[in-house]
């Protein structure tokens, strides 16, 4: 039975509706992990460190896909809830075309500035050359990655969440197969790793583009449209929190790399890379659920259905709480086998990674609430509050912690930083939730 945005959502229906987006985000993370596994085990720790050193910069540029996806879907779903379907399609089309143009522009700029940036962050010698080579190839696929990210949100708004999962499967399987072919068979080294990822991004961006350009049975389709500056500004306001969150996480990731280079060299960067790969999978659960529920919340907000809004908020907090506990326990249980899987070939690196893992896992207990909180207020078209939660979580708290705590506990302070930051961000979300409960009646 088809689930519609206008339905009443029980726990079971929420799980069924968000399940494709959760699996989509987990699988997207998994194929990134497979990428890291091939690089680490076939090419060694220096190429592995190079990939993880420059990857945050690439993600900064790709983050604009979240701006148009989450911000646009919030506006489009609200417009649909108001019964203006023709306008919703025009807005969807305009935002998609702008996203394509922005993707090309920032990728060209990224190719020009990647070398001086990598050098400024501390890369030199072989590490610097590998960073530049990998990054420039990967930026070829960045415009398509932005489209893939954007359309994941719009697939849900179009009541086609399963197609978002299909898109992730297409991109993920492409990446895994090409990693094996280019790295393990053809022995193309880091060039092969970059090509595999870039081509998988092309596949992930082209599938939804072709789907929405053709006649389809979803609620949305790419059509002719004019320029609506007010709608674009509203989209940027709505999606600013997700853009800021992703850019900030990438910038903070660069800061982590700088601190780790200072305290433990390339081994620290490699260990952090392992933690980030696992973090992407676990956090993917929270992001997938938040992406899946946002259009539903936005629709009922537009329809002024306050009882359903209250129900969605309450159920979501219980679901996020359950996920958080499970993720933390899994992190502790899987620390040793996952560390061994990535860097078991180097004893010292293995021990450093395992210790970091044991501390880092406690962050999963708090992360989901802040992620959902930012998405929740984006869906309510309250960009400033959503942005405040993201900014405090990913910039203020983490930056302060990563700069101060290593002074007390050296490398351990770096691992503790993320736990403290996520805990404080959760407190901020709960404060906003209490302060705005009368305004939104949730």
* Tens digit of each residue's pLDDT (9 = 90 or more) over 334-378: 999 988 988 888 888 899 999 999 999 999 999 999 999 988 998
User: Hunting for tokens 């705590």 — which residue is that?
Assistant: 405
Instruction: Give the Cα separation of 442 and 437 in Å (integer).
Output: 6
Instruction: Give the Cα separation of 161 and 149 in Å (integer).
Output: 13
Instruction: Give the Cα separation of 68 and 102 in Å (integer).
Output: 10
CA 442 → CA 157, 297, 369, 380, 436, distances in Å? 21, 10, 16, 11, 9
Radius of gyration (C-alpha) of the chain in whole angstroms: 21
Instruction: Give the Cα separation of 256 and 204 in Å (integer).
Output: 29
The secondary structure of residue 7, as a DSSP letter, is: S
Q: Quick one: which of 360, 364, 274, 284 has its CA closest to 328?
A: 364
The tokens of 157 are what?
A: 């708004």
Residue 347, number of CB atoms within 10 A of its CB:
9
pLDDT the model gives residue 115? 96
pLDDT the model gives residue 195? 96
pLDDT the model gives residue 32? 66
Ranges of the chain with pLDDT below 70: 1, 30-32, 241
Long-range contacts, 118-121 (Cβ 8 Å, 24+)? 118/53, 118/54, 118/57, 121/53, 121/254, 121/257, 121/258
Q: Indicate the domain borders of the chain.
A: 11-440
């Amino acid at each position: 039975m088809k689930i519609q945005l206008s339905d009443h959502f029980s726990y079971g229906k929420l799980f069924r509706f968000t399940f494709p987006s959760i699996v989509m985000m987990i699988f997207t993370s998994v194929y990134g992990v497979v990428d890291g596994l091939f690089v680490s085990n076939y090419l060694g720790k220096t190429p592995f460190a190079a990939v993880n050193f420059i990857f945050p910069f690439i993600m900064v540029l790709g983050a604009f896909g979240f701006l148009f996806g989450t911000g646009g879907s919030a506006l489009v779903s609200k417009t649909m809830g108001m019964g203006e379907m023709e306008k919703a399609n025009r807005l969807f089309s305009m935002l998609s075309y702008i996203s394509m143009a922005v993707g090309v522009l920032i990728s060209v700029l990224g190719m020009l500035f990647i070398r001086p940036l990598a050098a400024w962050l501390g890369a030199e010698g072989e590490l610097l050359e590998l960073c530049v080579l990998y990054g420039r190839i990967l930026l070829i696929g960045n415009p398509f990655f932005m489209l893939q990210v954007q359309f994941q949100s719009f697939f849900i708004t179009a009541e086609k969440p399963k197609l978002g999962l299909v898109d992730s499967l297409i991109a993920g399987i492409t990446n895994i197969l090409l990693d094996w072919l280019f790295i393990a068979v053809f022995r193309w080294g880091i060039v092969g790793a970059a090509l595999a990822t870039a081509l998988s991004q092309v596949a992930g961006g082209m599938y939804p583009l072709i789907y929405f350009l053709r006649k389809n049975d979803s609620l949305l389709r790419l059509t002719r449209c004019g320029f609506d500056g007010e709608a674009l500004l509203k989209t940027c306001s709505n999606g600013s929190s997700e853009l800021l969150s992703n850019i900030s996480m990438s910038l903070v990731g660069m800061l982590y790399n700088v601190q780790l280079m200072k305290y433990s060299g390339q081994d620290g960067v490699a260990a952090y890379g392992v933690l980030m790969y696992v973090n992407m999978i676990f956090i993917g659960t929270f992001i997938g659920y938040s992406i899946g529920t946002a259009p539903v919340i936005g629709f009922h907000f537009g329809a002024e259905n306050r009882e359903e809004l209250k129900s969605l908020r309450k159920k979501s907090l219980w679901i996020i709480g359950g996920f958080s506990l499970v993720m933390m326990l899994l992190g502790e249980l899987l620390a040793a086998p996952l560390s061994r899987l990535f860097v078991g070939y180097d004893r010292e690196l293995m021990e450093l990674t395992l210790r970091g893992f044991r501390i880092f896992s406690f962050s999963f207990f708090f992360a989901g609430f802040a992620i959902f909180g930012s998405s929740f207020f984006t869906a309510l078209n309250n960009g400033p509050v959503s942005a405040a939660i993201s900014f405090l979580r990913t910039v203020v708290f983490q930056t302060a912690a990563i700069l101060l705590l290593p002074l007390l506990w050296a490398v351990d302070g770096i691992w503790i930083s993320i736990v403290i930051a996520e805990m404080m961000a959760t407190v901020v979300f709960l404060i906003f939730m209490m302060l705005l409960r009368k305004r939104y009646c949730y």
